[in-house]
């Protein structure tokens, strides 16, 4: 570490107990980078182990809550830190790169995906909804929609099958009963009410309701429970009875939330009673679904394409047509709601998804043909770029904790494995 | 009190002194009494009755006072011969004698007058050499000679010199001829004078100066006299004067004194230089045109190369005098004296005079204006956000030039027509082609019906307008559109003079979405909808008097609004609000009122060939693109000439368009670029539109000399679609 130039007093600590080092203060060159710090930490760990085991591990370093990507002094300058005081540097095992798993070729563009346990649900522009295993085996293909499917969502999944929803440009939302063994999907309910293409779905956390957003500027709330008989009896009559029967009994919306000035492109539940919706009218609105009234309006400068909420970090991530992923803090009482802006994409951000297990990680898909894994502590550069796609990406999902799924105009459902260190770490300790 | 008393005394003494001088020495008491009275009366002016001698005790006191005065150095000399005063005059007498004592000559009173004080001889002040030869000097009262003192001889003189110790201080008085021995005091005076000092030794010129009226504030007054009563009483006289002044000021008779300006008064001796003066003519003197200096050819003995050859002489003689290069022929002479008189001399002088006389004497004024000052100040594009800046989505699928695009009124769908005879419907957000229609001919123009209650697209293929229901968007809407079209029942008496045929599509065409075909006699260039969505107009440039036709969809009726053509119609447009129709011919745009059926306005396009036209959603502004790469903005309230002309493209403009919501307009050109400009129209009639070019969007490749062929704004977002010859449609956001 001997080098000329200014030095900085640094103290290292970690929240991962197996890598604990002494709290000595080190003097490191001001221009030190992650690479040299890795050497230092590895040297410390190896010397303290003393068992001759020289396994090198890669660490990342957090200074003032942000990942060290530049040389230390420029990072500190950006943070407004002085070199006079001792810098506390947290280090943690570097997130391993997601590895591509399977690429499931489909017939047409994939507009939406959602994973659940060991299955992946995908909606396609060829009007079908399909269920795949993680390995890429097609379990079922549900046909019934007459126009491209724009959104899909799992309602529940069991060993023998499950239920899922699909929304399409034919203005319908269909609840399907999926029988795994039989390999069939039967429409159970047909939700009518939207006037134009239904673009997004969000299942209520208790799975008894769901919300949908449509191009007709409406957000509608639907019930998933068993319908009352009288409602069903009312509807099927006249000439269209046969057609209705194809997609099951008709369901009408519980509630319509009106307020957006343009198409609603994405909906997400924040908690049991709060829904949030993003629209092309440059706003994200939150709604109180108990009272059916709008609560808050977050105004951006460009049309929003995607929104996602994380229960772990309590942040709202939005993807918009100005190439940025913005994180909004709904709880903050300050005027500025944008917590931070993640900038690296070159095109529209079409989808964002939070990690279900790690509060810092999210994934974003963009029309620039890349999927990016972000850590909120590193807003200027993503952790990993998953490029190599030949066409723009339309959807991304992270419902299965260890699987990133994305799909798009290249007609391939791509999955990437993700190993969360927070969850995998205890396993390793147990194994040891 | 004591000081007052003294002043009174001094006055008294003076009176008495005069008395002594004038009066004979033996005065009687009466006179004295009189004087005392007068003195008393005089004194009463100053000190009242106090000075009146009332008792002997007071007299005694005054005596003491006078003896005190003797300290000043004066001595009392009682033995002076003169009149003695009696006791009644008392103190006054004594004080007068003190004064007399100071006189240099005590026997002054031997003489009657004081002007003969220096009486040493009787001859007076005459030159004494007159008496040199006489033994006497003058005569006494008896007429006897006054003899000079005996003058000893040399020996006596010498003896005197030897014997007399005071000889050195003895001088001869010329006036009397007597020897005078100088006293010590006189010697001192002489010595002082010789030394150049003050004659009197005791005189000190540098006595300390007692500054009574000093600037320093003294604690005691100079005089201890108490203040008069009148100093406490306001003066009536002053009051009167002040009131007079106040009155004068009130009446304006007295004005405050003007403040003296202490500034030195200079004057500018060049002050009048800027005004006209005869000298100025000389300052801006323009010199007379100069004559050419004589060269070698004018020499009487020029170098041989200047001498003309035979041919040159011949050519010179044959040429017109105006065409000759020089007015003379160079010739060689042996000597200067052989040079003859110059024949053209008078003529040349005359011409020179004419030159001087007729020469225009004018100074060219060059204006110094920097180019930056001429450019109006425009806001920065950064402050005019939002406007499209980056390419976001590319709609790929066509295989030939994409001629025309149109956006669905809600902005979800886009339709594009191409030379590959395809009509493609795209999902705006994803770039997904949702529908393809094979139309069997080049699609020249396409327009989505602006009415959101119906779902129809009008497309132009060669000489046919095809009305298509794309079945996109709201199911209810496109089903009701079909119902609307199906409910049409042909009127029984269909009288039409126009060679236009309406036909409903059937079979496979109907399944594809084609609903109506309207066939025309000539190639159609453009189709455009009225804002209500029922009427649409088509342009047949070769149609002659039928170049513009207006069709009504619900009644399937066509009409020809113009009886004869006014030129080659390029495009037409409906006014967004009012019943006006804009018809652009090659160089003019005519605005017709469709209700009154009259020409309302004729706009001079100021360009060679109009290619496209767009009207502002407000309806009062119009832009025109032309093939000579200009874009002209018309403010129709302002003038029939362009308000502004923009030349940002290098090649012909193909399409211009306005945004419906944002203050934006755009132009697509054959150079492959789309220029976005900010065009703010103010509702305030006094404010002219603000036009700022903000962005050049490049992306389309130029193929077959065609670049961007069409551009349309998204109806709700600040986005623009452009189609090009490179078979793509692009979305910039």
pLDDT-derived band at B68, boundaries 50, 70, 90: very low
How many other CB atoms are there within 10 angstroms of residue A294's CB atom?
17
Please give the structure tokens belonging to residue A23: 């709290």
pLDDT surpasses 80 at A264: yes
What is the pairing mode between strands A361-366 and B170-172? unpaired
pLDDT-derived band at A104, boundaries 50, 70, 90: confident
User: Span A7-93: which CATH code?
Assistant: 3.10.20.90
Q: In the sheet that B402-407 helps form, which strands lie side by side, from edge to edge?
A: B402-407, B413-418, B422-427, B432-438
- Rounded CA separation B97/B13 (Å): 10
- Rounded CA separation B510/B477 (Å): 17
Complete DSSP assignment for A134-199: TTS-EEEEEE--SS-EEEEEEEEEETTEEEEEEEETTSEEEEEEEETTTTEEEEEEEEE--SS-EE
Mutate to test the interface with B, among A217, A323, A348, A391 (most CBs of B within 10 A): A348
pLDDT-derived band at A425, boundaries 50, 70, 90: very low
pLDDT for B405:
93
Q: What is the mean pLDDT of chain A?
A: 82
SS3 of residue A309 by DSSP: strand
Strand partners, A158: A161
> Which H, E and C letters describe B334-355, residue by residue?
CCHHHCCCCCCHHHHHHHHHHH
At what angle are helices B91-100 and B2-22 packed, to 10 degrees? 70
Count Cα atoms within 13 angstroms, Cβ side, for B580.
Answer: 21
Please give the structure tokens belonging to residue B451: 């009415």
Give me the mean pLDDT over the A323-352 stretch: 82
> Which H, E and C letters describe A20-32, residue by residue?
CCCCCEEEEECCC
CA B232 to chain centre: 61
pLDDT for B203:
86
Quick: pLDDT tens for B256-275: 888 887 788 888 888 776 66
CB A185 within 8 A of CB A157: no
- Rounded CA separation A120/A139 (Å): 10
Residue B210 vs residue B312, higher pLDDT: B312
CB A220 within 8 A of CB A204: no
Within 688-727 of B, beta carbons closer than 8 Å to A belong to 716-717
For B412, the closest chain A residue by CA position comes to: A215
CB within 8 Å: B392 and A348? yes
Of residues B386, B430, B475, nearest to A171 (C-beta): B475
Give me the mean pLDDT over the B183-195 stretch: 91
Quick: pLDDT tens for B552-596: 888 888 888 888 878 889 899 999 989 999 999 988 999 999 888
Quick: pLDDT tens for B408-429: 998 889 999 999 988 999 999 8
Counting DSSP H helices and E strands in chain B, the numbers are: 13, 33
- Rounded CA separation B414/B371 (Å): 44
- Rounded CA separation B27/B89 (Å): 12
Residue A3 vs residue A156, higher pLDDT: A156
pLDDT-derived band at B277, boundaries 50, 70, 90: low
Strand partners, B475: none
Residue with tokens 């930490």: A41
Residue with tokens 């006055």: B11
How many other CB atoms are there within 10 angstroms of residue B74's CB atom?
13
pLDDT surpasses 80 at B494: no
CB B518 within 8 A of CB B465: yes
Least confident interval from A62-66, A88-92, A227-231, B657-661:
A227-231
pLDDT for A92:
82
Least confident interval from A93-97, A204-208, B11-15, B367-371:
B11-15
Of residues B412, B432, B717, nearest to A109 (C-beta): B432
- Rounded CA separation B20/B28 (Å): 12
CB within 8 Å: A392 and B431? yes
pLDDT for B614:
93
B572 touches chain A (CB under 8 A): no
Please give the structure tokens belonging to residue B635: 């403010």
pLDDT surpasses 70 at B74: no
Complete DSSP assignment for B483-523: HHHHT----SS----S--EEEE--HHHHHHTEEEEEE-SS-
Complete DSSP assignment for A93-124: EPPPPPEEEEEEE-SS-EEEEEEETTEEEEEE
Could you tell me the sign of the dihedral formed by the alpha carbons of A310, A316, A319, A325, in that order? negative
Shortest CA gap A280–chain B (Å) = 8
How many other CB atoms are there within 10 angstroms of residue B237's CB atom?
8
Give me the mean pLDDT over the A32-36 stretch: 84
B717: chain A residues, CB-CB within 8 Å: 262, 280, 303
What is the pairing mode between strands A7-13 and A87-93? parallel
pLDDT-derived band at B58, boundaries 50, 70, 90: very low
pLDDT for A237:
45
Which one, of B357, B426, B371, lies nearest residue B398 by Cα? B426
Strand partners, B724: B708
ipTM of the predicted structure?
0.87
CA distances from B8 to B5, B228, B494 (A): 5, 19, 151
CB B695 within 8 A of CB B388: yes
Q: In which region does residue B138 sit, left (phi positive, over 0), alpha (psi from -120 to 50) or beta (all else)?
A: left
Give me the mean pLDDT over the A363-368 stretch: 90
A234 phi and psi angles, rounded to 5 deg: -65, -45
- Rounded CA separation B85/B92 (Å): 9
Quick: pLDDT tens for A279-305: 999 999 999 988 888 888 888 888 999
For A320, the closest chain B residue by CA position comes to: B733
Give me the mean pLDDT over the B478-487 stretch: 86
> Dihedral angle at the C-alpha atoms of B27, B31, B33, B34, nearest 10 degrees?
-150
Highest mean pLDDT among A329-333, B355-359, B729-733: B729-733
Give me the mean pLDDT over the B369-388 stretch: 85
Of residues A262, A323, A367, nearest to B393 (C-beta): A367
B171 touches chain A (CB under 8 A): no
Please give the structure tokens belonging to residue A347: 């095109």
Quick: pLDDT tens for B669-702: 999 999 999 999 988 888 888 899 999 998 888 8
Q: Compute the count of residue pairs across chains A and B with CB atoms less than 8 Å apart.
A: 50
pLDDT surpasses 90 at B447: yes
Q: Domains along chain B?
A: 2-114 (no CATH), 144-202 (no CATH), 381-732 (2.130.10.10)
pLDDT-derived band at B20, boundaries 50, 70, 90: very low
CA distances from B137 to A67, B115, B141, B152 (A): 142, 21, 13, 17
B393 touches chain A (CB under 8 A): yes
CB B701 within 8 A of CB B673: no
DSSP H or E stretch at residue B159: helix B154-163
pLDDT surpasses 80 at A50: no
Residue with tokens 């009207």: B615
For A301, the closest chain B residue by CA position comes to: B386
Which one, of B187, B183, B188, B190, lies nearest residue B201 by Cα? B188
pLDDT for B472:
85
pLDDT over 90 for what percent of chain B?
26
Give me the mean pLDDT over the B230-259 stretch: 90
CB B614 within 8 A of CB B632: no
Residue B659 vs residue B256, higher pLDDT: B659
pLDDT surpasses 90 at B720: yes
Strand partners, B334: none
DSSP H or E stretch at residue A34: helix A34-49
Please give the structure tokens belonging to residue B265: 């008064």
Q: What is the DSSP letter of B703?
A: B
pLDDT for B658:
93
pLDDT-derived band at B612, boundaries 50, 70, 90: very high
- Rounded CA separation A166/A179 (Å): 16
Shortest CA gap A218–chain B (Å) = 13
For A148, the closest chain B residue by CA position comes to: B434
- Rounded CA separation A344/A70 (Å): 16
DSSP H or E stretch at residue A106: none
- Terminal Cα distance for chain B, rounded: 115
pLDDT for B256:
82
CA B285 to chain centre: 32
DSSP H or E stretch at residue A302: none
pLDDT for B52:
40
CB within 8 Å: A171 and B410? no
Same fold, A7-93 and A99-424: no
pLDDT-derived band at B452, boundaries 50, 70, 90: confident
- Terminal Cα distance for chain A, rounded: 33
The domain limits of chain A are 7-93, 99-424
Please give the structure tokens belonging to residue A313: 């970090």
B479 touches chain A (CB under 8 A): no
Least confident interval from A67-76, A268-277, A287-296, B331-340:
A67-76
- Rounded CA separation A377/A386 (Å): 19
Give me the mean pLDDT over the B525-551 stretch: 89
For A346, the closest chain B residue by CA position comes to: B392
Q: Over the Cα atoms of chain A, what is R_g?
A: 24
Which one, of A113, A87, A104, A116, lies nearest residue A29 by Cα? A87
CA distances from B521 to B257, B459, B543, B584 (A): 102, 16, 8, 21
Residue B211 vs residue B617, higher pLDDT: B617
Quick: pLDDT tens for B134-144: 888 888 888 88
CB A292 within 8 A of CB A299: no
CB B237 within 8 A of CB B230: no
CB A253 within 8 A of CB A191: yes
Give me the mean pLDDT over the A331-358 stretch: 82
Q: What is the mean pLDDT of chain B?
A: 80
pLDDT for B258:
83
pLDDT-derived band at B104, boundaries 50, 70, 90: low
- Rounded CA separation A330/A155 (Å): 27
User: Span A99-424: which CATH code?
Assistant: 2.130.10.10
Which one, of B125, B128, B145, lies nearest residue B136 by Cα? B145
Quick: pLDDT tens for A370-410: 889 988 888 888 888 888 888 888 999 988 888 888 888 88
Please give the structure tokens belonging to residue B350: 């005359």
pLDDT for B561:
85
Of residues A125, A195, A394, nearest to B476 (C-beta): A195
pLDDT surpasses 80 at B198: yes
pLDDT for B154:
86
Residue A426 vs residue B503, higher pLDDT: B503
């Amino acid at each position: 570490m001997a080098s000329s130039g200014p030095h900085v007093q640094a103290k290292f600590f970690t929240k991962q107990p197996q890598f604990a080092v002494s709290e000595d203060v080190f003097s490191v060159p001001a221009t030190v980078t992650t690479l040299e710090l890795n050497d230092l930490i590895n040297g410390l760990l190896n010397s303290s182990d003393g068992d001759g085991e020289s396994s090198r591990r890669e660490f990342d370093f957090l200074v003032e809550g942000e990942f060290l990507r530049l040389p230390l002094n420029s990072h500190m300058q950006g943070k407004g830190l002085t070199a006079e005081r001792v810098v506390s540097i947290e280090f943690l095992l570097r997130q391993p790169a997601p590895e591509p798993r399977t690429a499931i070729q489909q017939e047409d563009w994939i507009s939406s995906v959602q994973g659940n346990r060991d299955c992946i649900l995908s909606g396609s522009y060829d009007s079908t909804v399909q269920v795949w295993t993680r390995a890429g085996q097609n379990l079922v293909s549900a046909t019934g929609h007459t126009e491209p499917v724009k959104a899909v969502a799992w309602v529940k999944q069991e060993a023998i099958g499950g239920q899922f929803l699909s929304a399409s440009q034919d203005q319908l939302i269909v609840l399907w009963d999926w029988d795994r063994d039989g390999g069939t999907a039967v429409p159970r309910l047909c939700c009518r009410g939207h006037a134009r293409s239904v673009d997004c779905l969000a299942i209520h956390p208790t799975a008894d309701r769901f919300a949908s957003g449509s191009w007709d500027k409406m957000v509608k709330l639907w019930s998933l429970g068993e319908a009352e008989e009288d409602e069903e009896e009312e509807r099927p009559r006249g000439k269209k009875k046969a057609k209705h029967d194809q997609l099951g009994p008709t369901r009408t919306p519980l509630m319509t939330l009106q307020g957006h000035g343009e198409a609603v492109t994405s909906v997400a539940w924040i908690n049991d009673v709060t829904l949030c919706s993003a629209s092309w009218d440059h706003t994200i609105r939150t709604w109180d679904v108990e009272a059916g009234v709008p609560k808050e309006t977050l105004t951006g400068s460009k049309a929003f394409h995607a929104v996602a909420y994380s229960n772990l970090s309590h942040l709202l991530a939005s993807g918009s047509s100005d190439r940025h992923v913005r994180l909004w803090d709904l709880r903050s009482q300050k005027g500025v709601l944008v917590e931070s802006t993640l900038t690296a994409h070159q095109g529209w951000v079409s989808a964002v998804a939070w990690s279900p297990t790690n509060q810092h990680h999210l994934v974003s898909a963009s029309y620039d043909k890349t999927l990016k894994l972000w850590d909120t502590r590193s807003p200027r550069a993503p952790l990993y770029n998953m490029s190599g796609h030949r066409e723009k990406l339309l959807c991304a999902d992270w419902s299965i904790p260890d699987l990133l799924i994305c799909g798009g105009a290249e007609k391939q459902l791509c999955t990437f494995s993700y190993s969360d260190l927070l969850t995998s770490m205890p396993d390793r300790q147990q194994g040891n | 009190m004591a000081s007052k008393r003294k002043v009174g005394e001094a006055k008294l003494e003076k009176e008495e002194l005069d008395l002594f001088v004038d009066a004979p020495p033996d005065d009687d008491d009466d006179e004295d009494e009189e004087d005392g009275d007068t003195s008393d009366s005089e004194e009463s002016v100053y000190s009242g009755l106090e000075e009146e001698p009332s008792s002997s005790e007071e007299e005694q006191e005054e005596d003491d006072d006078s003896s005190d005065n003797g300290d000043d150095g004066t001595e009392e000399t009682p033995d002076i011969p003169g009149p003695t005063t009696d006791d009644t005059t008392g103190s006054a007498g004594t004080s007068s004698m003190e004064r007399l004592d100071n006189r240099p000559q005590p026997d002054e009173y031997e003489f009657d007058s004081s002007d003969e004080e220096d009486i040493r001889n009787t001859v007076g002040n005459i030159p004494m050499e007159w008496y040199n030869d006489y033994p006497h000097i003058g005569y006494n009262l008896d007429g006897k000679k006054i003899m000079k003192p005996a003058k000893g001889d040399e020996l006596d003189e010498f003896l005197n010199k030897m014997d007399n110790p005071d000889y050195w201080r003895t001088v001869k008085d010329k006036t009397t001829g007597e020897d005078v021995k100088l006293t010590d005091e006189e010697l001192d005076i002489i010595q002082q004078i010789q030394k150049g000092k003050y004659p009197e030794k005791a005189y000190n010129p540098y006595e300390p100066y007692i500054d009574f009226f000093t600037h320093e504030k003294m604690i005691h007054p100079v005089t201890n006299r108490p203040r008069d009563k009148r100093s406490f009483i306001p003066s009536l006289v002053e009051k009167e004067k002040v009131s007079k002044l106040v009155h004068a000021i009130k009446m304006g008779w007295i004005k405050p004194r003007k403040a003296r300006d202490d500034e030195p008064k200079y004057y500018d001796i060049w002050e009048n230089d800027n005004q006209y003066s005869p000298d100025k003519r000389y300052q801006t003197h323009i010199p007379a045109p100069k004559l050419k200096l004589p060269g070698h050819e004018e020499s009487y003995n020029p170098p041989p190369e200047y001498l003309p050859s035979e041919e040159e002489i011949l050519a010179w003689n044959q040429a017109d005098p105006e065409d000759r290069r020089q007015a003379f022929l160079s010739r060689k002479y042996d000597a200067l004296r052989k040079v003859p008189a110059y024949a053209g001399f008078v003529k040349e002088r005359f011409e020179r005079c004419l030159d001087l006389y007729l020469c225009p004497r004018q100074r060219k004024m060059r204006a110094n204006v920097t180019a930056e000052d001429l450019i109006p100040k425009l806001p920065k594009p950064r402050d005019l956000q939002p406007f499209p800046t980056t390419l976001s989505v590319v709609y790929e699928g066509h295989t030939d030039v994409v001629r025309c695009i149109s956006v669905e009124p809600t902005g979800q769908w886009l339709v594009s027509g191409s030379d590959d005879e395809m009509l493609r419907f795209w999902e705006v957000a994803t770039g997904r082609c949702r529908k393809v229609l094979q139309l069997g001919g080049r699609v020249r123009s396409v327009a989505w019906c602006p009415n959101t209650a119906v779902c129809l697209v009008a497309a132009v293929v060669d000489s046919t307008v095809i009305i298509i229901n794309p079945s996109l968007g709201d199911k209810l809407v496109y089903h009701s559109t079909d119902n609307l079209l199906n409910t049409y029942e042909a009127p029984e008496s269909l009288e039409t003079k126009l060679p236009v045929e309406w036909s409903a599509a059937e079979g496979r065409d109907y399944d594809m979405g084609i609903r109506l075909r309207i066939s025309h006699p000539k190639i159609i260039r453009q189709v455009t909808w009225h804002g209500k969505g029922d009427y649409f107009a088509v342009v047949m440039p070769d149609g002659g008097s039928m170049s513009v036709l207006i069709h009504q969809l619900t009644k399937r009726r066509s009409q020809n609004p113009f009886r004869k053509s006014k030129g080659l119609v390029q495009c037409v447009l409906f006014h967004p609000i009012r019943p006006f129709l804009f018809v652009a011919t090659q160089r003019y745009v005519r605005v017709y009122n469709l209700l009154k059926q009259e020409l309302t306005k004729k706009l001079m396009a100021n360009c060679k060939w109009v290619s496209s036209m767009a009207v502002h959603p407000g309806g009062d502004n119009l832009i025109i693109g032309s093939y000579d790469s200009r874009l002209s903005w018309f403010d129709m309230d302002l003038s029939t000439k362009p308000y502004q002309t923009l030349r940002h493209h290098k090649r012909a403009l193909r399409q211009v368009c306005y945004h419906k919501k944002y203050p934006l307009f755009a132009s697509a050109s054959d150079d492959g670029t789309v220029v976005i400009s900010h065009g703010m129209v103010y509702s305030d009639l006094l404010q002219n539109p603000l036009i700022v070019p903000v962005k050049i969007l490049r992306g389309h490749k130029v193929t077959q000399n065609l670049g961007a062929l069409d551009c349309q704004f998204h109806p709700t977002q600040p986005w623009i679609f452009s189609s090009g010859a490179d078979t793509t449609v692009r979305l910039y956001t």
